[in-house]
Structure 1
Amino acid sequence: MSTQADHGHELIPRPEPTPDALRAALACVDPGRLEEMQATKDEAFAKAVQWQSLSPVRSWVLIWARDIEIARRPSLSARHAHAKSRLEHEDPVIAREALRELSAVLDEATKAVRE
């Protein structure tokens, strides 16, 4: 599988890195994960208060922006799903290649949302 960026077909525009914009985007591309998003948001905000640091909130934004980036780009989403489906393959060579591809997808999505 190619690790080249494919920005030609996107389901929705890239959302702003704010909780409301990320939630609206997730509702469009993967609404089944909204409860998970809310739960992790609650955890991040609780840690932010406990730690007196915005780091947990920043991490939450980055993780969800990355996951939405994958979901909003069908080619990236397909690569992600294919790699995840092969992570526990009985052939260790295939499993290692799947791990490399999954890492490449996550890196590409993270880089895109940090631009």
Structure 2
Amino acid sequence: MSTQADHGHALIPRPEPTPDALRAALAVVAPGRLSEMQKTKDDAFAKAVAWQSLSPVQSWVLIWAREIEIARRPDLSTRIDHAQRHLEDEDPVVAREALRELSTVLDEAMRAVRE
């Protein structure tokens, strides 16, 4: 696992961007999502073979690195949970702000894993 700097308190260090390291990290921060991870991994590898391209696997790694970044950082997970709860608010201003915050958190997490 990486010792790269993170923002605030993290539950675990940022994992290396490999399938095994990502799976081990997810088992700690969000074990209930392991079957989802495996299904998307299987899909990505099947697409990689069919397309004769590594891009589906590379995308899978980035998506799960981002998801783990959010789960391992309480600051991000709190923000994304709040945003997701308000996405369908009847007040369009609240819903729009929630969507903006969701996008901001996803972007911040992706930037962090690409450091």
Q: Separation in 2 of the partners of 1:54 and 1:110?
A: 19
Amino acid at match of 2:103: S
Q: Separation in 2 of the partners of 1:102 and 1:7?
A: 17
Between 1 and 2, higher relative CO (CA 8 Å, sep ≥ 6) is seen in 1
1:7, CA displacement in angstroms? 1.4
Percent identity for Structure 1 against Structure 2: 81
Superposed CA RMSD in Å reads 0.7
Q: What runs of 5+ residues in structure 1 fail to find an aligned partner?
A: 1-5
Q: Separation in 2 of the partners of 1:8 and 1:111?
A: 15
Amino acid at match of 2:63: I
Using the size of structure 2 for normalisation, the TM-score is 0.94
What are the Cα deviations for residues 64-114 of structure 1, in whole angstroms up to 9, with x where unaligned?
Answer: 000000000001100000000000000000000000000000000000000
1:8, CA displacement in angstroms? 2.1
Runs of 4+ displaced beyond 4 Å: none
1:98 alignment counterpart: 98
State the secondary structure of the residue aligned to 2:88: coil
2:56 alignment counterpart: 56
Q: Separation in 2 of the partners of 1:42 and 1:104?
A: 29
Q: 8 Å contact 2:44–2:57 — kept in the other structure?
A: yes
1:108 alignment counterpart: 108
1:31 matches 2:31: yes
Q: What runs of 5+ residues in structure 2 fail to find an aligned partner?
A: 1-5
